[in-house]
Each structure stands twice: as C-alpha cells, then as structure tokens.
Structure 1
Amino acid sequence: MKYFAALVVFAYLYAVQASVYLEENFDDDTWEKNWVYSKHPGKEFGKFVRTAGKFFSDEENKGIQTSEDARFYALSRKFAPFSTEGKDLVVQFTVKHEQNIDCGGGYVKVFDCSLNSEEMHGDSPYRLMFGPDICGPGTKKVHVIINHNEKNVLINKDIRCKDDVYTHAYTLIVRPDNTYEVQIDGEKVESGELEADWDLLPPKKIKDPEASKPEDWDDRATIPDPEDTKPEDWDRPEHIPDPDATKPDDWDDEMDGEWEPPMIDNPEYKGEWKPKQIDNPAYKGSWVHPEIDNPEYSPVPDLYKQPEICGIGFDLWQVKSGTIFDHVLITDDVEYAQKAIAGLKDQQEGERKAKEALDNAEREAAGGDEDKKDDEEDEDDDEEEGAEDNVPPVHEVSGNLSIFAVSGGA
C-alpha cells in the first residue's frame, strides 16, 4: 500500500509540475489575433491562410498554409516566458508539403523575449531552430540548430526529413542530462549528447603546439629501389611516322610543302621509366601529433538550459507555396506530446485515400476533356468531309472542262 501510495503521489506531482507552454491547433480564425506578421522592410512577405488543404482526412482539422509562390514568410507569436532549467524541453509541430515542395523551409524558430515580432527577419536572434528543409534532390534534411553564447551551431549529423505530400510530425526533445532526441511521426530518428553532436564548446583536446614531427622521421612506407636501373632499350618515342602511309598522288611539294607521313602511337613505347618500389627499411609509420588538454575547454553541466523562452515563429523562404503547419506544441511533458499526435497514422491514411480520389477525379476530368477535344476534332473532320462532298462535279467534254452545280443540273 505504501508503494502504491508513493506512486500516486509521484504521478500527481509529475502532473502538477508538467507544463504546456504553448499549444496552437489553429482551431478557428481567431488564431490571427495571437500571431503577428513581420513588417521588416526590404522583404516581400507572403500570407498564411487557414485551410485543411486540397486533400484531407478531416476537413475540420485545419492548419495555416503558405499561399504565395516565391515569397518570404515571417510570422510569430509570444507566450508566457519560462526557463528549461531542470526539465525537458519538447518542441513539436506538423508539416504537410502538399504542393510537393521543390525548394523551401518547413522549420520553426524558438525565441526568447527579446523578439520584436513586427521586426522579425532572417537575422533575428533565436534560441533554437528545428524542422525540415528541402531544396532540390541534394537538400532534404532536418535542421537542429542551437544558440550557445550568441552563436548558432548546427548539429553535425545528417538527419533526413520526409519529402512526400502528407502530414508529418517533427519532435525535438532536449533533456536536463544534456541529451537530445529527434522524432519524426513519434519515432526516434536520431539521438545523442549535446556536447558530442554540436560544436557548442571548445574541444577537450588540442594538438600540442610545442610538438612537431622530428626531422629524421621517415613516414614513407616504400621507396624507389636504389639497385634498379633503366634498361638500355627502354627509351622509345611515344609517336612515330605511320609506315603504311604514302604521299597522295595529287600532292604538289611546291604548292603544299614537303609531305610528311601522319604520326601514330608507337607500339614499342613504354612510357616514363620509374624504378620499382621496395619496403622502406627506415619507415617509422605515420607520425601522430600528440594532444594535450585544451586550456580553453571547461565543461558546462547545464548545456541544455535555455534561461528564457517565450516565442516561436515561422521564418521561411518558399519557391512553391502550399505547406500547411499545424499542432504547434511547446511543453516539458514528453508523454503529452506523444498523445498529441496519437491519431497521426490514421490522418496520414485518410490523406492518402483522399489524394488518390482527387487524382482519379482529375484524371477522369482530363480524360473527359480529351474526349471532348477528340469529338470536336471529329466534328471538324466531318465538316471538312461534308464540304468536300458538296464540291460540284467536274465533267470533261471534248477536252474542255465544264462545271455543273449539284442542284440545277446542266
């Protein structure tokens, strides 16, 4: 009983301590009251529209969609500030590139309270950047960038993003033990330690600046054989006159100059001679620069910690618009985040079926247009044939042409 009671207390304390700092599902048109468009000069910004898209599992499940091609997008909102000290940080949202995106971002940026939403632009300082980025076949990655000491540092691992046209959930978890996890659709795709997978701190070890390779260090595994000599008959020209060539009969030495046969590859040519290689008796192996502790390195036990978070935004460029963002969540509750996307697989399956039905309808419509076009072409052909049928007959009379109308006779 005591053990059970302790579990109940622990669960209660966890429920009390766990917090949801932002949950935005764009349930109605009031979302625009909380989100602010940037007015930063010098950029042509696009607008977001609330929609379920062209194909969907549930028409009521709407997000915000980029609506204009070849535009920057800068939209953000703030919420009550919090610190991640001693707790998990979970950043999660869904992305649907239903336009089959060719080049554009699908990520979010997380800010502290210094963000001026109306001035947000590409160089605005942020704390985290996370999410997919696609541009051509070469760039299909999940960005995970952490700001440390006012420097943006990209993860040194390559995480591939989804590049289809259906909804996918992206989740970043940063833990107080300085570890992290990246999930796509609730499944782990990458994890590790912050210090190991980002260059957030100076390296622990550096090459000893006092050390250098000894002058007598020989790192050549093989050397030319000093006993080897070039054969006397080795040297042959690379090209020789073609022995089978003859001067053309119409060649005029006075007009054309002295005739010379064309050159061909010499079958006896052996190339540049080099002595054979033998093992180097003085070989000592590859010299390894010794390392020492880096005096500039010092461990940071709370590398994970973000002292202040109170904003999130979309700061993007898209060549082809149509991306739908939804279910934006910032919390310290990993289980809550998992539950928030519990119906994702059913949503994806519904979207696939809706996409298939849409494609079939478009094909049928296109086929109907082709049939109509064919019918119109057939009608035109029939009219042309009918016109030919109405041409008056031509009769030959005594070598002269005499034309008779179809009606009226001769």
Structure 2
Amino acid sequence: MHSESQYYIMFGPDICGFGNNRLQVILYHQGKYHENNKTLKCRINKDTHLYTLIIRPNATYEVKIDNEKVTTGGLEDDWDFLPPRKIKDPYARKPRKWDERLQIEDPEDKKPEDWEDSEFIPDPEAKKPDDWNEAMDGVWEGPLIPNVKYKGQWKPRIIDNPNYQGEWIHPEIDNPKYKPDPTICHYYNISVLGLDLWQVKSGSIFDNFLLTNDEEFAEEVGNKTWGLRKDVEQQWRELYEEMEKKKEAEEAKKKREKQRARQEDIWGLDEEDEEDNEEDSEEEPDEKPKQEDGADRAFLGKKEARFDQKDEL
C-alpha cells in the first residue's frame, strides 16, 4: 500500500498540534471520498482509548469511544453522498412588504422643544476685539463653552413592531436530481486493513483491530482487552507522573541551592581560594620528585618483599 491506494473506510483519531483534534470518519462512494459533516472530537489525554465505528445495513451508523456512544445518525444525512432531498424553490421571492423588523422607533415620539442636544455653545460673554479686521482676520467666531443644559443626542423610543411578520423562510421543493441509493453502505471485497500513520511525537501505541458484523461481540472483545488494562494503565501513568514531578522538584531545588551559594559569595572568597591554589601549585614542583622517589622505593620494597616470600615458599 502507498499514499495513493484506494480505500473504502478511513476511521480513527487525527491529532495534530493544538488546533486539529478530530475523529475522522471518511467513506468512499462512487469514486469520491466524503467526510462526516459533524465535528467529532477524539480523546487527547495520555490514556489509550477504544474507538468503534458501526455501519448498519439500514444506512445508519454509530460511533463509540471507550464503548460509549458518541454520535449516531443516517448516512445520507451526515455525508454528502447524494444530492439533497429538498432544495429552495428557485421561483419563490420574499414579498417586498414583508416586515422582518422585531422592533422599530416610535413614529409618534417627538423631541421636546426645550431639548438641548448641543454639547458646546458660543460664550455669550465673549466680545469681538476692537482691532479685529474681518478683511484680514476673517469672520470672527466667539469661543465655545460647555452647554450646562446639554442632555445628549435625542433618540425616539423603541417599541415592538406591530407589523412584524417574522423571519421569511424560503420555501423548499423536492429536488429533481435526488435519487435514493440503497447501496451507499455496501462494500465488497474488503480484504486489507491498513494504517495511515503520521507521527511527530513518540509514545503512541495501538493494537487489537477487529472487523466483525456482530455489535455485541465487538463490545465484549473491547471490554476483555482494553477494558481490563485501562485502570492499571491509568495507575501506572499517575505513578510515573508523580515520580517525574519529584525528580523535577529535586533538580529545581539543587539549582536554587547553587544559585543561592553564588549569591552569598559576595566577598570574593573564590578569588582568595584561587590565589591559595596558585601558591600551592608553585610549591608542588619541589615536592614532586621527593614524593615520586618515596613512592618508587615503597613500590620496589613491596616487590622485593613479595620476591622473598616466593623464595621462602
């Protein structure tokens, strides 16, 4: 098999990064691959899970995760195998006078005569300067001041629309292109089960694939395989995570202790230790020959002693 191999059914989890988390159910029909119209989510925790797809002869299906029903429906309804049964009437048009407004402004509401909707007004105490020349300076306009009687922009009150007719719904008719196909869920000569794997993170495991026409048997097998291991697996995972947390805490503690030791050494103690080490290294050349001579003699003495012991034996 290869990437261009034809298949009938693709089923399984599709997890890619943080944005793509989908349970794929892709079915083949009349030379095309069709995805499920529903958005099915798979489990993304660290435990293993059991995925089950059931396709029934009456053109219905069911999806289970961990032997619990996730979704069910009809193949024609949830896949675009066939043209829709109903379409919008191409000759129907919404009437011009159809009123879909739920609320409207009250046509009888009028703005009061004393309503002040100007936020700023000319200063009544300001006077044009005596030396103002309109030919040179233009038309004089007095400065503006805040209007103490300002009440904001006036709007008529909102009332329920007495002529409201509701949202107009486009009428539908039978689709002349629709023809039922009783073979959409029939597949013949299924003899190969393939795995399409795109793995970017280690740790994924999978086993126990089952193809059968017995729903009860499939559920029983799942309970006797995955069902027996799930609790033990969860316990081991929790224990491992606890050990990893302790390990990280110990490493963080050691790191903090090292940083604290460096921060406490503010008097240059390391420099004095380096100077002492340098003085000791200068004196070492004179003592090395003596130490080497003493070591050689001790070594030779041991060899001689061993040789004498052998002779005595």
User: Shorter-normalised TM-score: what interval?
Assistant: 0.5 to 0.7
Alignment of structure 1 residues 76-91 onto 2, 5 Å:
none
Among all aligned residue pairs of Structure 1 and Structure 2, give the percentage whose two residues are the same amino acid. 43
Q: Quick one: distance in 1 between partners of 2:32 and 2:147?
A: 61
Answer yes or no: is the 8 Å Cα contact 2:111–2:154 preserved in 1.
no
Q: Which amino acid aligns with 1:344?
A: W
Q: Any idea what the Cα deviations from partners look like across 1:338-374, whole Å, max 9, x if unmatched?
A: 2332232331222122223323443454455567667
The TM-score with structure 2 as length reference comes to 0.65
Matched, 1:359 2:237: no
Within the candidate set 331, 336, 341, 2:212 is matched to 331
Matched, 1:140 2:18: no
Task: Look up the match of 1:270.
Answer: 152
Task: Look up the match of 1:321.
Answer: 202
Q: Which amino acid aligns with 1:339?
A: E
Q: 1:212 to 1:390 in 2, by over 3 A?
A: closer
Matched, 1:165 2:73: no
Q: Quick one: distance in 1 between partners of 2:275 and 2:51?
A: 73
Task: Look up the match of 1:237.
Answer: 118
Q: Quick one: distance in 2 between partners of 1:376 and 1:337?
A: 58
Task: Look up the match of 1:201.
Answer: 82
Q: Specify which structure has the higher proportion of strand.
A: 1
Q: Quick one: distance in 2 between partners of 1:267 and 1:136?
A: 60
- 1:166 offset after TM fit, Å? 1.3
Q: Any idea what the Cα deviations from partners look like across 1:296-337, whole Å, max 9, x if unmatched?
A: 111222321123433333334444333212222223333442
Answer yes or no: is the 8 Å Cα contact 1:234–1:273 preserved in 2.
no
- 1:193 offset after TM fit, Å? 1.6
Q: Quick one: distance in 2 between partners of 1:266 and 1:156?
A: 61
Matched, 1:300 2:192: no
> Which protein is bigger by CA-based radius of gyration?
2
Within the candidate set 212, 223, 229, 1:347 is matched to 229
Answer yes or no: is the 8 Å Cα contact 1:240–1:266 preserved in 2.
no
Q: Which amino acid aligns with 2:162?
A: N
> What are structure 2's unaligned runs of at least 5 residues?
124-141, 277-313
Q: Quick one: distance in 1 between partners of 2:146 and 2:23?
A: 57
- 1:178 offset after TM fit, Å? 0.8
Q: 1:295 to 1:390 in 2, by over 3 A?
A: closer
Q: Any idea what the Cα deviations from partners look like across 1:157-210, whole Å, max 9, x if unmatched?
A: 333321111111111010111111111122222222212222322221111112
Answer yes or no: is the 8 Å Cα contact 1:162–1:168 preserved in 2.
yes
Task: Look up the match of 1:96.
Answer: none
What is the aligned residue count? Answer: 257
Matched, 1:183 2:61: no
Of structures 1 and 2, the one scoring higher in RCO (CA 8 A, sep 6+) is 1
Q: 1:313 to 1:240 in 2, by over 3 A?
A: farther
Q: 1:153 to 1:388 in 2, by over 3 A?
A: same
Matched, 1:280 2:162: yes
Q: Quick one: distance in 1 between partners of 2:73 and 2:274?
A: 85
Q: 1:266 to 1:306 in 2, by over 3 A?
A: farther
Q: Which amino acid aligns with 2:215?
A: V
Answer yes or no: is the 8 Å Cα contact 2:76–2:82 preserved in 1.
yes
- 1:226 offset after TM fit, Å? 3.5
Q: Specify which structure has the higher proportion of helix.
A: 2
- 1:386 offset after TM fit, Å? 9.4
Q: 1:268 to 1:144 in 2, by over 3 A?
A: same
RMSD, aligned CA? 4.0
